[in-house]
Structures are given as C-alpha cells and as structure tokens.
Amino acid sequence: MTIDKEGLNLQDFYDVVFSEKEISIDDSVLKTVQDSFDFLTEFSENKIIYGVNTGFGPMAQYKIEDSKRIQLQYNLIRSHASGTGNLIPPKYVKAAMLARLNTLAIGKSGVHPSVIELMTTLVNRDIIPVVYEHGGVGASGDLVQLAHISLVLIGEGEVIYKGEQKPTSEVFKTENLQPITVALREGLALMNGTSIMSGVGILNTIYTKRLLNWVVSCSSAINEIVKAYDDHLSLELNEAKKHSGQQKIAKQMRDHLQDSTLSRKREHHLYNGKVTDAVIEEKVQEYYSLRCVPQILGPVLDTLQNVEKIVLEEVNSANDNPIVDVEKQQVYHGGNFHGDYISLEMDKLKLVVTKMSMLAERQLNYLLNSKLNGILPPFVNLGELGLNYGMQGVQFTAVSTTAENQTLSNPMYVHSIPNNNDNQDIVSMGTNAALLTKKVIENTFEVVAIELITVVQAIEYLKIQGEVSSKTKKMYDEIRAIVPAFKEDEVMYPYVKEVKEHLINSEI
C-alpha cells in the first residue's frame, strides 16, 4: 500500500492493520516533506515560530536560544510521555501510527524526512510503541499518547515486539534501526494532532461495520425462527419512509431470508378470509424488537457512514500547529489539532452501538421468555426444566453488559475541563470518546455472542436446520462448531468468549 497525495481510505487501514500489508512512500511525498522541512528551516530564521524557537502552550511567551532548540524538542517528548492505565492494544496503536504518518506526509508540518522513513519501517516490521489509555484531552491533539510514540522514534520508551513488551533501545539494536533526526520541530509535529483518537476511531468504524452485519443476521434469523410475517421487511413498506439506512437494512434482511421456508406471507394466513374467530390466536404482528429492525438499525447505518466520512477527512488532514505552507511561503498558527470532529463522531457511534446492544438484549429476552415467544422452553432449556437452566445464567451477563453500555454512552463531547494554565480552556476529550466507544463495541460483541448461542440452541430445539435460510444455516454451522448442542448445564464463559472472538475476527 502506497502513501501518496491521494490520502487513505478505510480499506487501506484494514490492509495494513489486519492483513499486515507493507506500506511504501511515494517519491513525490518524500520530496514534499523535504521541501517543507527546508522551507521551515530557512523561514524560521529571525522569526518567532511557535514550537521552533519558543516554549510550548502557556510557555510560548518564552523565546528559546538557538543552541537549545533541539533540546527543546526532546524535553517536550520526555515530559509529556506521562500516560497511565491500561495499554492501548497494538492494533489500535498501529492504526494511529498510520494516521500520523499520513498526516505528516502531507508536507505541512516541516518535519525531517527521517520521521517518515522510520515510522514506515516500524509499521512494516510491526514494532508498536507502548501507549497508555489515560492522558489525552484531545485539544492540542493527543499530546500524551503521541508523546509515547514520539519517545520510541527518538529511541527511548518501550515497544511491543513479537508479542512482548521490550525497551526500544534493545529492539532498535536487534533490528539495526537508528532514531529520527531531531532538527527543527520534530517533537511538536509528532505530538500535535488527532492521530490517536483517529486511529482508534478508524478501527471502531471497521469493527462497528462488522458488528452491524452480525446484528442484522441475528435479527433476520430470529424473524424466521418464529415464522414472522415478512411484510415488515418489504420494499414497499420501507420505501414509504425516505431514510436510505432503513431501506438498506430491510434489503439486507430480505436477502438473508431469500431462501427461507419459514418466513410467512400475510396474504396466505390473514388476508384469505379464513380467520373468523373473535380472538386471533396467532400474533397479527411481532414485538418491536423483531418488527422494527430496519427502523432501529437504519439510523445506525446512516450514522456509521457519516462517522467513516468524518474520521477519514480527519486522517487525511493536516492536524498540526503551526501549519507550513510552502506554496504560499508562509507559516500559519491556529488550532487544527483540536479533536472536536472526532469526539462528536465517536459519541454518535457509541450511542448507536449501545442501541444495537439494547436490540440484541431484547431479542435475546424474547427467545428466553417462553410466555413471549410461545414456541420455546424457558431459557431455551433443552434439558429437564427445574433441574437444568439452559441460557438463564448468560442472560444476566447480557443484561449487565448492556446496562454498562447505557452508562458509558453519556457524551464526552461536552465534558471539557480547562487545563494547561487555562491555555487549553475548552477541549474535545476526543481520545476518551474514542476509547469509550471501543469499550462499548467490545461489550456489544459479548451481548451478540450470547444472543447467537441462543439462536443456535433455538434452532436445535425446533429441529429446523433444514428449513432456515442458507445464510442462517451457515451462521448456525459456524457457532455450532464452537458451542455444542447441550442439554446438561455447561460452564458458559469459555463459549461466550470464543464466540465473541469469532464475531470480532470474522466477516459475515
């Protein structure tokens, strides 16, 4: 995959982070970066340029002597490598590195070309900086977390290398690597920006796409298991409402159920004049968690598509300060490092993912409650009622996890706390927003894993393996390969964990 002036798309991140494709830098990019560095070197003579010959943040009023300018960059990196908490998983850090590399490659940061070269090598050799979850307020960018990446680039700090946490100096010696050349403003340029929140946001987008497909498939399978009428998925009904997301979800469900022998036509049963009883025994229409899936998941899809658009715009932007413009022969000071765009989109994504977990939990409850579905034993218990418990235990887990999502879905976007001597008087908390969204997505995979195991048990009880659609049957076979049909009570947590990992790592 080549980084050039065209920028990156979602597939590029997928190829590098998941498929581990190597990246290369187009020659034109290297020339642009070199030109930017050369221009800034010359331009900054006899001028006051923030972060080149001044202190940082509220210390910008202090001019730095020329002899101390290089030390200034090292001081910034070392002092701000102050993250705490859990490690951000290597995949997410790798995505952040790719995002930062792409931003610097635009040529508006004035960095030495060695930055581009070493970052490319680290990504290609899967040498991933140790970065912690806590520390970013998302205003002057992801200063703290990006400082940990910068620390590695100057040959310090720690990395994840071949699955182990090791000192950078040791790994650089093994791999015969040299630190970057700190010549001008490499510390500030590496740290000023939104690349951590954007990298995490990119993977959140990829995983949410995958999650949405599983939720659509689960919803389709439940509809056919209970032999629901199919008109709530019809083209005609869903075209009567003008939202493209709703229409696409309805079509996806129709495609899933195309060859099912269980879905029913209303005209065959209720429109034929044969029902004359005052009380109609069978349901005229299903509960909302089955009938309103296109209307519930449609907004999820529409939101997800907008999130992808905004996050990619951020990744392909110069989110640094100051901005170097070689063409105009000028340096502009401002706030492109501010993370409000990502913060808001992550909050939106978090909300719709939580709604997916709520939908999955309600569908699960429908299957487990025999009084609601009328066709399955309580808790889809295939054993002896009273003696065995079926899926009763894991329902608590699904409910608890969904409740956690609901609490986590409070917005970060409006949780600004002034800091940095009030220089950063309104901040985005975009990194927190992205990391909380990551947690909500992981939680929802757990809820859907429990729902899917229950779907498979329901198919087992009803003995309808040969009647469900081919797509439901494929899903059934995948889960059945992980979780055996059980009548006797089983220890469930290993199964839930394995199914969750299957969903996270599999396209449907």
**Residues acting as catalytic residues:** 50
Give the distance between the most distant pair of CA atoms in the chain: 95
DSSP string spanning 410-462?
A: S-STT----BTTTTB-S---HHHHHHHHHHHHHHHHHHHHHHHHHHHHHHHHH
Q: 24-25 and 2-3 as β-strands: parallel, antiparallel, unpaired?
A: parallel
Nearest by Cα to 283 from 220, 398, 371: 371
| Kind plus residue range of the DSSP H or E element containing 42 | helix 27-43
> Residue 369 and residue 435: Cα distance in Å, rounded?
35
Residue 87 — φ and ψ, nearest 5°? -70, 140
DSSP lists the bridge partners of residue 2 as 24
Phi-psi region at 157: left, alpha or beta (left = phi > 0; alpha = psi -120 to 50): left
> Residue 447 and residue 456: Cα distance in Å, rounded?
15
DSSP state of 256: H
DSSP state of 88: P
Residues in CB range of 67: below 8 A, 6 or more apart: none
Residue type for position 429: M
Angle between helices 340-368 and 195-225 (to 10 degrees): 20
Number of H helices, E strands in the chain: 20, 9
Burial status of residue 219 (CB atoms within 10 A of its CB: 0-12, 13-18, 19 or more): buried
DSSP lists the bridge partners of residue 165 as 160
Q: How far is CA 71 from CA 23, 53, 119, 288, 379, in A?
A: 31, 11, 21, 63, 65
Other Cβ atoms closer than 10 A to 323: 17
User: Can you tell me whether residue 402 is helix, strand or coil?
Assistant: helix
Using an 8 Å Cβ cutoff, are 340 and 367 in contact? Answer: no
Phi-psi region at 158: left, alpha or beta (left = phi > 0; alpha = psi -120 to 50): beta
* CA quadruple 320, 131, 125, 7: dihedral sign: negative
